[in-house]
A and B are shown apart, each in its own frame.
Chain A
Amino acid sequence: MATATGASPPMLARLKAVQGRVVEARVEESQVVAQLVRRCASGDAVAWEEIVQRFHRRIYNICYRFVGSGDDAQDLTQEVFIKVFRTVGSFDGEKASFNTWLTTVTRNLLVDNFRKKRDDRATDSMDATLGPEENGSTLAERLASDAPSQQVHIESRERREMVHRALQQISPDLREAVILRDLQDMDYREIAQVLKVPEGTVKSRINRGRAELARLLQRTYRQAL
Chain B
Amino acid sequence: MLVEGKSGMQCAEFDALLTEAMDGALNGERRERFEQHKTSCAACQTWSAEVTNGLAWLEEMEDVVPPPILVHNILAATSGAAGQAANAEPRASAWERLRRQVGAVFAPVLTARFGMSMGMAFFSITLLLDMAQIRIKDLTPHNLSHTFYSSQNKVMKYYENMRLVYEIESRVRNLRNAGEENEREREERMRRQEKNNNQTREQNQNSEPEQSQPNRFSRIQNVQWPASLRGSEVYFGELAKQRREI
> A3 interface residue, CB < 8 Å from B?
yes
> A48 interface residue, CB < 8 Å from B?
yes
Q: Which residues of A have CB within 8 Å of B16?
A: 200, 203-204
> A74 interface residue, CB < 8 Å from B?
yes
Interface size on B, residues (CB 8 A): 47
> A16 interface residue, CB < 8 Å from B?
no
Establish whether residues A78 and B77, one from each chain, have CB atoms under 8 Å apart when the complex forms. yes
Given contacts A56-B70, A60-B66, 5 further A-B contacts (CB under 8 A): A4-B25, A82-B77, A183-B61, A209-B54, A210-B58
> A90 interface residue, CB < 8 Å from B?
no
Among B22, B50, B59, B67, chain A packs the most CB atoms within 10 A around the CB of: B50
> B193 interface residue, CB < 8 Å from A?
no
Interchain nearest-CB distance for B38 vs A (Å): 13
> A113 interface residue, CB < 8 Å from B?
no
Report how many A-B pairs have Cβ atoms within 8 Å: 138
Establish whether residues A213 and B24, one from each chain, have CB atoms under 8 Å apart when the complex forms. no
Interchain nearest-CB distance for A16 vs B (Å): 13
List the B residue with the shortest CB-CB distance to A166: B57
Provide the main secondary structure of the chain A interface. helix
Establish whether residues A45 and B85, one from each chain, have CB atoms under 8 Å apart when the complex forms. yes
> B147 interface residue, CB < 8 Å from A?
no
Q: Which residues of B have CB within 8 Å of A74?
A: 66-67, 70, 73
> B65 interface residue, CB < 8 Å from A?
yes
A residues 1-59 in Cβ contact with B at 8 Å:
1-5, 42-46, 48-49, 52-53, 56-57
Interchain nearest-CB distance for B104 vs A (Å): 14
Distance A98 CA – B71 CA, assembled complex (angstroms): 19
Residue in contact with A203 in the complex, picked from B19, B70, B74, B84, CB distance below 8 Å: B19
Interchain nearest-CB distance for B177 vs A (Å): 78
Distance A159 CA – B57 CA, assembled complex (angstroms): 8
